[in-house]
Amino acid sequence: MQLNNNRYFALASAQLLPFSSFLSPVHHIADEAVLFAKQALEKVESKAWKDALSMYTQGIETYPEQAFFHACRSLLNAHLGDQEGAFYDYQVAKSIDFNYHIYLEWFENKPDTATIDPAVGYSDLQALLEAALDATQGFDYEHAVVLYSKALVTFENSAEILVYRGALYMRLLRYDLAIADFESALTLDPTHFPAKLAIAKFYEAVHEEKAARDTFDEAALLSPESSLVYEERGNFFVEQHAYPEALADYNMLVSLLPDDFYVYAIRADLLGKMEKWDEALQDYSRAIQLNPYYSDLYSYRAEAKEKLGDAEGAAADRRLYEQIEAED
């Protein structure tokens, strides 16, 4: 699929967010929003802060569907010490596109200095993969990318490792490198379920809804007993407001994980969106049975009770919510 005309893909892959790129930028994407982002970044790099802020504000107004310009202004405001402004744009970017939340979380928590020679001294593949996982958990994504790259070259060009590295590229908003890794993984193993699911999530991230839906369906055929595909596809359907399809997936999820409180909670939330409050109440009650110490469940069930006219029951649940919160 040709994606350079997809602005969600182009803005992320061009690697034009201020202060934070360690990957080489992509120069060949000729989209007007990308060209505008390049000009704004030039203002940042020349320390023309006022002009840069003005341009990012213009970008927000011109391309309101894009989280990119909010993320840029958040990073610039944080650099200039305007934490309130930075937090506002972070929240907006997160609400538009959760992938930008992941990116900004990485930027805030990444190590101050890069790991020196991170790929030296590993003669065992498993040790190298464990080190990459540790680096990922510590927000040292640069280190982890190098480690996975070494694993692919030195030990094994495997679908599994390609998916691991591709997932990191997704966190870094380097969508072009991510999809290349996921597709390479499927070339090595056309039945590799994690790669197929990762591609579906990629298409979802760049708002290619039909391709995402088709690929989720292909993933479900590859691994029909995997709970993960029904959770991810169900969540996708919720975002698309395709509630009956989402409910079918969440029903399947509950059948696969009948003792997991979380699956009842997400199905209850969907049932609330569908205004099926009796069924939502049943699911919230089952979730509470399985995890009575998760305070938010009482708040959610209180809303369901209120919708059903049970003001006394709603008040009792809110008291339980406050009691558990106080104990924590």
pLDDT exceeds 80 at position 234: yes
Is 149 a member of any domain? no
Q: Which pLDDT tens digit goes with each residue over 37-51?
A: 999 999 999 999 999
Q: Which pLDDT tens digit goes with each residue over 96-153?
A: 999 999 999 999 999 887 665 555 667 789 989 999 999 999 999 989 999 999 999 9
Is 104 a member of any domain? yes
Give residue 292's pLDDT.
Answer: 95
Give residue 116's pLDDT.
Answer: 59
- Of the pLDDT bands very low, low, confident and very high (cuts 50, 70, 90), residue 59 is very high
- Of the pLDDT bands very low, low, confident and very high (cuts 50, 70, 90), residue 15 is confident
| CATH for 65 | 1.25.40.10
Q: Work out the average pLDDT over 272-278.
A: 97
37 φ, ψ to 5°?
-65, -35
Q: Work out the average pLDDT over 248-263.
A: 97
pLDDT exceeds 70 at position 25: no
Q: Work out the average pLDDT over 194-220.
A: 97
Is 61 a member of any domain? yes
Name the domain count of the chain: 1
Query: Which residues span the domain enclosing 46?
Result: 7-109
Is 206 a member of any domain? no
Is 202 a member of any domain? no
How many whole angstroms separate alpha carbon 183 and alpha carbon 115?
29
Q: Work out the average pLDDT over 168-197.
A: 96
Is 269 a member of any domain? no
Is 257 a member of any domain? no
Is 67 a member of any domain? yes
> Which pTM value belongs to this model?
0.90
